Structure 1
Amino acid sequence: MSVDEYAQARPSAALLPYVGFYSGYRQRGLAPATHRGLPSPYLTVVFTMDDPLDVAAHPDPRQTPGRYAALIGGLHLRPALLTHPGRQSGVQVALRPLGCRALFGLPAAELGGIDVDAAAVLGAPIVAEIRDRLCSASSWPARFAAIDDVLGRRLFPVAVAPEIRHACYRLLGGGAARSVADVAGEVGWSPRYLTDRFRAEIGLRPKEAARIARFDRARRSLSPSTRLADVAAAHGYADQSHLVRDFRAFAGCTPTRWVADEFGFVQATARLMTEDREHERLTTTPGLADAAGR
């Protein structure tokens, strides 16, 4: 008997500034498959429930393939390749870049472009507690509540410059496109200084982060029935060829190939991603009254 479950939920109010959403999955009796873990505006945290997570290729090609009971992946510019033999289960946490300090006590830049064993960051006892509670819970809401409980006990004070917060809102929050020069002007910094400070905190340059955010919005709007030219125009690409270029760079394939392979995943995640961009718009103040000039 095959099992193919997928569930999503928001975190608790205390964690919502740091975590976009939770995704739970359980599959058994399916055909073996390979999934592309694409660049996105979130760090990826995965806690498995049964078999380890098999990473056949990391975003950083210098990392060797590995198996993980729990994994943390930083912001990246290349796809990861994840394989499973027809069964897999766990919960994925979409972590906002500035949430890395709040939950792990370190800037997202320290994890930029790499995957690490979550036990090396959270500690083996915490990872074991989360996995035990996930496995013993009887429903997805109970599993998400367990992660809420454990992560909620780990919140660190977050001290991030308001200029960086503002830049993250402008470049990653899903609003109207902004150039780095425009954002730098809004916070009173030079483009070069903003680039240096942003990269030191997030792990990507501002232009890279904005490009990833646009790509993520575009690929989640794809379906077998959409026209690539329409998607490109709706998300600020100069033309269809520029959208295809980003797909080849970030997914390692064309948009058509990706939709054919993974459209089911797009359907499952598109709604909460749209809601999360609305949350960013409503809860983040666009203005920056206390930015210091430089």
Structure 2
Amino acid sequence: MAGFRHRAPSVDISMVAYPSVTLLVDLSEGEGIVYETHGRHERGSVVVGLLPGDLRATGRGAGQCLQIRLEPVVAAALFGASTELSGTVVALEDVWGRDAGRAEDGLRAAASWDERFTIAVDILGRRLGAHPPVDPQVAHAWRRTLTSRGQVRVDDLADEVGWSRKRLWSRFRSQLGITPKRAARLVRFDHAAHLLAAGHAAARVASESGYVDQSHLHREVTAFAGLTPTALAVAPWLAVDDIAWPASSPTRCPAKDGERVPDLR
């Protein structure tokens, strides 16, 4: 989890694809933030599925939001079949009904970010049993994809869980909303994107991330972000990652009253 403020008269930022389902709870008092992808617009609190593509956040006036990155395995237990979320952005109210408004009200009224994080943990914990969990084999395949940085073969994953390639492909897609191969590409892209943002040369990034060559890296970056590697390296959404998700505390931003909360400018 991380808390964000936008203080400028307006915010207009492109969000880079990330290997998680993202819950964005709008805590603004005014018009709120508008999210757009593939011509679809949603205002306020939203759930962003895997691979939204060209996702842009815009808004007027100062505001705040709570962003929660959810492992797809966890998101499936919170929101149900992830196939309905894949590649798009959905209003939280459409997923949680009236509970969405109650969650927003409780988080907005909290006196500090620490209190908001605690409330959010409680809300998510109470909803974890709302839907059946994914198969253990699917969960294992996802986490192996993540830890290998997208460089594990689908055939090897199938062997590890004792399934045929076809069965793994089908169950993985139906439960997580993405094929195993596409998941590997997304995870590999994310690793490359952060290496580029850290200032590494594209040729080195291509080699370390498992791409055939620099041209292959260029094609994948364009496919996932609509940007060149050079433009991706300075993407503002990536620039706040080290602040919002510090390596010493990967599950949340340690922001208390008076402490720094990442600003969207």
TM-score (norm 2): 0.83
Size of the aligned set, in residue pairs, is 247
Pairwise mapping of residues 157-196 of structure 1 onto structure 2 (< 5 A)?
A: 158-174=132-148, 177-196=151-170
Q: Residue type of the partner of 2:116? A: R
| C-alpha contact (below 8 Å) 1:29/1:86 kept by paired residues | yes
For residue 34 of structure 2, the aligned residue among 54, 58, 74 is 54
Following the alignment from structure 1 to structure 2, what is the Cα–Cα distance between the partners of residues 48 and 77?
A: 19
Give 2:17's aligned residue: 39
For residue 8 of structure 2, the aligned residue among 24, 29, 54 is 29
Q: Deviations over 1:50-94 (max 9, x none)?
A: 142212x31xx2x53232x21012112523121233633110111
**RMSD value over aligned CA atoms?**
2.4
| C-alpha contact (below 8 Å) 1:42/1:97 kept by paired residues | yes
Using a 3 Å threshold, how does the CA distance of structure 1 residues 240 and 274 change in structure 2: closer, same or farther?
Answer: farther
Offset at residue 175 of structure 1 (A): 5.2
Give 1:96's aligned residue: 71
Using a 3 Å threshold, how does the CA distance of structure 1 residues 231 and 170 change in structure 2: closer, same or farther?
Answer: same
Q: Residue type of the partner of 1:90? A: C
Offset at residue 49 of structure 1 (A): 0.7
Following the alignment from structure 1 to structure 2, what is the Cα–Cα distance between the partners of residues 265 and 169?
A: 25
Pairwise mapping of residues 91-240 of structure 1 onto structure 2 (< 5 A)?
A: 91-104=66-79, 106-124=80-98, 126-156=99-129, 158-174=132-148, 177-223=151-197, 225-240=199-214
Higher relative contact order (CA 8 A, sep 6+): 2
Secondary structure of 2:230 counterpart: helix
Give 1:87's aligned residue: 62
| C-alpha contact (below 8 Å) 2:17/2:224 kept by paired residues | yes
Secondary structure of 1:238 counterpart: coil
Offset at residue 270 of structure 1 (A): 5.8
| C-alpha contact (below 8 Å) 1:79/1:251 kept by paired residues | yes
Q: Identity across aligned pairs (percent)?
A: 33
Offset at residue 178 of structure 1 (A): 0.9
TM-score (norm 1): 0.76
Offset at residue 224 of structure 1 (A): 6.3
Following the alignment from structure 1 to structure 2, what is the Cα–Cα distance between the partners of residues 252 and 116?
A: 21
Secondary structure of 1:129 counterpart: helix
For residue 267 of structure 1, the aligned residue among 238, 242, 248 is 242
Following the alignment from structure 2 to structure 1, what is the Cα–Cα distance between the partners of residues 134 and 42?
A: 33
